[in-house]
Amino acid sequence: MSETKIETTVHGMMAEFTTVDSLLSACRRVRDAGYTKTDAYTPFPVHGIDKALGIKPTVLPWICLIAGATGTCIALAMQIWMNSIDYKYIISGKPFLSLPAFIPVAFELTILLASFGAFFGMWALNGLPKFSNPMFTDPRFDRATDDRFFLYVDASDERYDAAGVRSLMADTGSDYINEVVEDDSPKEVPKPVFLIWGLSVAASLVPLICILTMRVTNSSQPRFHIFFDMDFSPAKDAQQVTSLFVDNRAMRSDVPGTVARGQMEESLDMLTGIDVEALTLTDPPRVERLVRAYMQADDQAKAEEQETLEKEAEATDEATEAAEAAPASVMDTTPWVEKNPLTVDADLLATGQQQFAIYCSVCHGMDGYGNGLVNQRAQSISAPTWVPPASMHQETLYADKYPDGKLFSTISNGIRKMPGYAGQIKLKDRWAIVAYVRALQKSQNASLDLVPDAKKAAVEKAVEEAKAELKRQAEEAEKAAAARQQAQQ
């Protein structure tokens, strides 16, 4: 019988070194000789080994950049198509094509694809996965993780020549040079691996098949509930009925006497803007309604009080219109709170200015003259049902004719086309708006008596200087007009 000759595949040549310096010197010799497909194996990181081997910078950053840019483009194109073309839907008042709103999704997809590019790009550039390395065929290579250093030249290098490489490595001072050959272990993947892989894939498809089957078939059996209490929660939705309460309503109103946290006040004066003590002497039934409405959350009492306030508002309007003909024909007899119950200071005025700008300026304007943006728009389109907002600087709204309590009530309950803001503005913030409106009125029609004595002299001086400047400007204007007239003649 003749023996079968088995050809052994040669992968390259490796040399062993005992020190880092000898390894680096050998790497430089191999690099200078023109070999490019080389590698070094060390038990710890060696500084400068990449330069010594002549390893070029990796293209992995470019792969990450391209993958990340692809993710950005995909995210933007997806959102533009979804929100601007296929299904136009206004979200929080943003335009259909809102690039700032698209940034979060674009950022996430950029990071995701860049991570995938880094991970799979590294695998591809390193030729992974590898189930075996021919370097492992040499038992001495086990010391690469202990105390030895190895230099390897791949046989696929275009300059590779076994004799020449061996001679070169011998010149570097290596005591051990060996040819790296193919591992003689079987190359076939064991059949049990395919069996286990196939069973795993089949098992992973079972849940998906069950879900798809349940979506297209009917069953006489109830569903299997993994979390029973979540599928059958006792919680009720809005406007549903329930047998738990006598009135069968799932939605429950506040318990009588309930107030919001931070809104508890000792008197009704601050809640209503009405002097309840004075009202008790003139209209006891109305005081009873106020107590029920504001302290016990009585819906009927609230409706009655709202109706009363609306009638008073109408009476005030009629009185204003007919003031010259019959000033006493209709009068508002409600004893309103005359002064703001809060301490008026800089902080309160700052809060009032902020709240006025948010809720009031859109109609009344930042200066309170009723020239807000909404009114300007209504005037420009000649809206037939629009009622122009009142100017805060008209005499009928000054404190002597329109007490602070009445102004607070108007803010809280509304008047004419103006809605009530009690549900939007906090109690103290409404009183802060009252204080700011008074300050706004004084800023436009203040007298010198309101200026502190210590600052009167400075104010008078400023007024005189302003008058002198106006006079000077008027004289210059007259001279310029006279000069123009003379030039024309």
- Let me know whether 56 and 134 are in one domain: yes
- With respect to residue 307, please indicate whether it lies within any of the assigned structural domains: no
- Let me know whether 162 and 45 are in one domain: yes
pLDDT score recorded for residue 291: 63
45 in helix, strand or coil?
Answer: coil
- With respect to residue 122, please indicate whether it lies within any of the assigned structural domains: yes
Partners of 150 in the β-ladder: 16, 41
Q: How many Cβ atoms from other residues are within 10 Å of residue 117's Cβ? A: 22
What does the alpha-carbon distance between residue 74 and residue 60 come to, in Å, rounded to a whole number? Answer: 21
- Let me know whether 479 and 358 are in one domain: no
Q: At what angle do helices 427-445 and 404-413 cross, to 10 degrees?
A: 120
- With respect to residue 248, please indicate whether it lies within any of the assigned structural domains: no
What does the alpha-carbon distance between residue 276 and residue 85 come to, in Å, rounded to a whole number? Answer: 60
Q: DSSP states of 5-37 as a string?
A: PPPPPEEEEEEEESSHHHHHHHHHHHHHTT--S
Domain's final residue, options 164, 188, 213: 213
pLDDT score recorded for residue 2: 42
- Beta-strand relationship, 176-181 and 10-17: antiparallel
Q: In the chain, which stretches have pLDDT less than 50?
A: 1-6, 322-330
- Let me know whether 464 and 417 are in one domain: no
| Tally of structural domains, the chain | 3
- Let me know whether 412 and 488 are in one domain: no
What does the alpha-carbon distance between residue 252 and residue 16 come to, in Å, rounded to a whole number? Answer: 85
- With respect to residue 156, please indicate whether it lies within any of the assigned structural domains: yes
The CATH number linked to 440 is 1.10.760.10
pLDDT score recorded for residue 299: 56
- With respect to residue 330, please indicate whether it lies within any of the assigned structural domains: no
pLDDT score recorded for residue 387: 82
Domain's final residue, options 182, 213, 244: 213
Structural domain for 486, as ranges: 454-489
- With respect to residue 126, please indicate whether it lies within any of the assigned structural domains: yes
pLDDT score recorded for residue 283: 67
- With respect to residue 392, please indicate whether it lies within any of the assigned structural domains: yes
- Let me know whether 398 and 471 are in one domain: no
Domain's final residue, options 171, 196, 213: 213
Q: Are 220 and 213 in contact (CB under 8 A)?
A: no
- Let me know whether 36 and 140 are in one domain: yes
